[in-house]
Amino acid sequence: MYSTKRIIVICFLILIRKIIFSQSWVQISDFPSTERDDGTSFVIGGKAFCGTGFKTGFITCRDMYSFDMATETWGAISSLPAGMERQYASGFSYNNLGFIFGGASGLSYFNDLWMYDTLTGNWQSKTSLPAFGRMGCCCFVINDTAYIIGGRTATVTSIAEVWAYAILADTWTYKGNFPFGERWRASATSYNSKGYIIFGKDLANNYRKELYEYDPLINSWTAIGSFPASGRVYSTMQSMGGDLFIVAGLDSIPNSYKDMWRYNLSSSTWQQLASIPSIERRGGMCFNNGSTLYYTAGIDQVNNRLKETWKVFNPTTISENDLSEKVKAYPNPANDFIDIETDLSNCYFSVFDVTGKLILREKIVQNKTRIDLSSYSNGLYFIQLKSDENVLSKKFIKQ
């Protein structure tokens, strides 16, 4: 007969299976304050920090909230200082520090930089950008440097400047102009020490759709692809598992969207995934923990501001029935090791804990790979395998 502990584990795995392998968006707790668009967010550890933005009544905001991605609960944190309300700001993070740069409130365009320290729970003013204030920039972080690209100033509707902020030194360096033209409200992210930017509106009011890669070692931009649909603004781009994910946005017609796309960096291919099962939207805040992608707030096609929060787990994962034919992972439950056997080529595997935290990522160099589990805590884990063609997941227990 099964022990009570084993029955609990089996029931838990059945529940996890239903959640994970549904491969669909699920609505969770709303953003905890007033509906808004054009806010900003950054991620530190297993928490996302979201706030600022524009709420009904044409009012800019300074309030901030944390979202625990393990428990999927919201909590309030310290707001930006009084008088620092804004929309169209840019958010980024480094270690336990979060940053909010620029943005606008009414006719005021900001070049300031604010740092949030999770250890003290306080905001601190850092060195301002030594240039005109701007809003609607995109940004990414590579190592200990944040890159701020494009945006709009009080006098120019779209600019091409690229600035690098050295986080530890608290200094700014001008890196030249983005060589492919101006970009306002583009989308950007980073992966594996490279930066990526897509979309945005140029000075001639064209809605761009090209995808570019940035190499900080040689300060060089390269065109690597083009979005297979219309160009956009107000979209979001996230890197997750080595792929780029794009959600929602607004085209030039203007149509708002609720779709999601994946760009495979290995094969340079696009794939349209499941859309948010609700109304079209733009200008929301998007973040992820390595395995689950979240999208909150925004504004819809007819300019109603939103506070919904949606999530999708492993959006490209195929079913476990298909997986069993391609991948074997044993023993399961495991003790000190687990072996992975697969005939997939050019494949990487990642190990996530039950909260979605990335534990390990390596390339599979032969058909059979052994993972050392001796330093892992007991509990539930997920193995994700990504090849040029597939993203596959399998769960296992360390006991």
Q: What digits encode the pLDDT tens for the residues 233-289?
A: 999 999 998 899 999 999 999 999 999 999 989 888 898 999 999 999 999 999 999
Helix, strand, or coil here: 6? helix
**Residue where a domain stops, chosen among 313, 331, 364:** 313
Whether residue 107 sits in one domain with residue 162: yes
Give yes or no for residue 16 having a pLDDT over 50. no
The tokens of 280 are what?
């079209």
> What is the mean pLDDT of the segment spanning 23-43?
95
Give yes or no for residue 147 having a pLDDT over 90. yes
Dist. CA 224–CA 16, nearest whole Å: 37
Whether residue 139 sits in one domain with residue 55: yes
Please give the pLDDT value at position 208: 98
Dist. CA 48–CA 286, nearest whole Å: 9
What is the CATH classification number for the domain harbouring 328? 2.60.40.3080
**Vertex 150 angle, CA 146 and 156, to 5°:** 145
Q: What digits encode the pLDDT tens for the residues 312-343?
A: 987 755 444 444 556 788 999 999 999 988 87
User: 354 falls in which pLDDT band (50, 70, 90)?
Assistant: low
Please give the pLDDT value at position 318: 45
Provide the percentage of residues in the chain whose pLDDT is more than 90: 73
Please give the pLDDT value at position 325: 58
Of the candidate ranges 4-13, 46-55, 114-123, 170-179, the one whose mean pLDDT is the lowest: 4-13
Whether residue 226 sits in one domain with residue 105: yes
Q: Which residues contact 320 (CB under 8 A, 6 or more apart)?
A: 17, 21, 393, 394
Please give the pLDDT value at position 359: 84
Please give the pLDDT value at position 3: 54
DSSP string computed for 8-54? HHHHHHHHHHHHHTT-S-EEEPPPSSS-EES-EEEEETTEEEEE--E
Please give the pLDDT value at position 18: 41
Dist. CA 138–CA 158, nearest whole Å: 12
Whether 37 and 58 have beta carbons less than 8 Å apart is answered as no
Dist. CA 242–CA 385, nearest whole Å: 11
Q: Which residues contact 355 (CB under 8 A, 6 or more apart)?
A: 46, 69, 70, 289
Whether residue 381 sits in one domain with residue 356: yes
Please give the pLDDT value at position 320: 42
Cα within 13 Å of Cα(364), Cβ side = 26
Provide the percentage of residues in the chain whose pLDDT is more than 70: 88
Whether residue 350 sits in one domain with residue 224: no
Sheet holding 161-166, edge to edge: 138-142, 145-149, 161-166, 171-177
User: 394 falls in which pLDDT band (50, 70, 90)?
Assistant: confident
User: 9 falls in which pLDDT band (50, 70, 90)?
Assistant: very low
Please give the pLDDT value at position 22: 43
Dist. CA 383–CA 361, nearest whole Å: 10
Give the number of domains in the chain: 2
Of the candidate ranges 24-38, 104-118, 367-381, the one whose mean pLDDT is the lowest: 367-381
Whether residue 339 sits in one domain with residue 287: no
Dist. CA 65–CA 32, nearest whole Å: 8
> What is the mean pLDDT of the segment spanning 83-89?
98
Whether residue 201 sits in one domain with residue 267: yes
User: 62 falls in which pLDDT band (50, 70, 90)?
Assistant: very high
Give yes or no for residue 10 having a pLDDT over 60. no
Give yes or no for residue 11 having a pLDDT over 50. no
Q: Which residues are registered as beta bridge partners of 74?
A: 67
Please give the pLDDT value at position 351: 86
Which residue range is the domain that position 55 belongs to? 24-313
Sheet holding 36-37, edge to edge: 36-37, 54-55, 59-60
Dist. CA 33–CA 6, nearest whole Å: 41
Whether residue 219 sits in one domain with residue 183: yes
Helix, strand, or coil here: 59? strand
The tokens of 54 are what?
């524009």
Give yes or no for residue 179 having a pLDDT over 60. yes
Give yes or no for residue 345 having a pLDDT over 70. no
Whether 60 and 52 have beta carbons less than 8 Å apart is answered as yes
Give yes or no for residue 35 having a pLDDT over 70. yes
> What is the mean pLDDT of the segment spanning 294-301?
98
What is the CATH classification number for the domain harbouring 166? 2.120.10.80
Whether residue 105 sits in one domain with residue 234: yes
**Residue where a domain stops, chosen among 295, 313, 331:** 313
Dist. CA 48–CA 63, nearest whole Å: 14
DSSP string computed for 267-312? TTEEEEEPPPSS--EES-EEEE-SSEEEEEEEEETTS-EEEEEEEE
Whether residue 333 sits in one domain with residue 290: no
Higher pLDDT, 239 or 385: 239
Whether residue 132 sits in one domain with residue 13: no
Whether residue 149 sits in one domain with residue 50: yes
**Residue where a domain stops, chosen among 283, 298, 313:** 313
Burial 121-137 (b: 16+ CB within 10 A, else e): eebeebeebeeebbbbb
**Among 16-20, 126-130, 360-364, the range of highest mean pLDDT:** 126-130
Sign of torsion over alpha carbons 337, 340, 341, 347: negative
Give how far Cα 341 sits from Cα of 46, 269, 357, 367, Å: 30, 26, 23, 6
